[in-house]
Amino acid sequence: LAEMERDNIVANCRMGMQQRASQGKWNGGRAFGYRSDSTKKLVIHQQEAEIVKDIFRLFSKEKWGYKKIATWLNNRGYTTLRNKPWSINGVKQVVDNPIYAGFIRWGQYKDWSKNRRKGKTKDYVLVKGEHLPIIEMDVWEATLKIREIKSKKPETLYPGEFLLTSLLKCPQCGASMVSHK
């Protein structure tokens, strides 16, 4: 009975969060460039918003990659919400997040505890949010186009297999060695 009650509470909580998201309301959590007030409304944090604008400008207009942007941010002494240096993944999360264009996204991953990133679904809520956007819509659309181009995987140059891949081990660290053409 306790397990059934727990599942019922989780289902009701998810339905409530989906309802809030479909109304354009923030469900909570932290987003670089924003702070959440006592009513869970997103308010722009000016210093961080300038960094977000720089990230989008460098990515969409200057055509910089994630690593170059992360290095640029770190050289200027900027840190993430956790006061850590910027990483490629941190920059990618900012560039991929529609919140900065004024949208609320919810339910992009199903069964995260089991599937992790493999649970990504195209059936999620994406609506105009109540909060003010940090970037303009034309910048967001330019970013989407660049990400679409970059998401295509390059052709495999060598279709064969390397027989000794993962069989050879590094004598110093013990990691598996890989072959490449």
pLDDT tens-digit series, residues 63-89: 999 999 999 999 999 999 999 999 999
In whole angstroms, give the CA distance from residue 181 to residue 119: 33
What pTM value is reported for the model? 0.74
Can you list the positions of beta strands (E) in the chain?
34-36, 42-44, 103-106, 125-128
pLDDT value at residue 162 = 73
> Residues with Cβ < 8 Å from 49, sequence gap 6 or more?
33, 134
Reported as a single tens digit per residue, the pLDDT across 102-151 is: 999 887 767 666 766 666 777 788 889 899 999 999 999 999 999 888 87
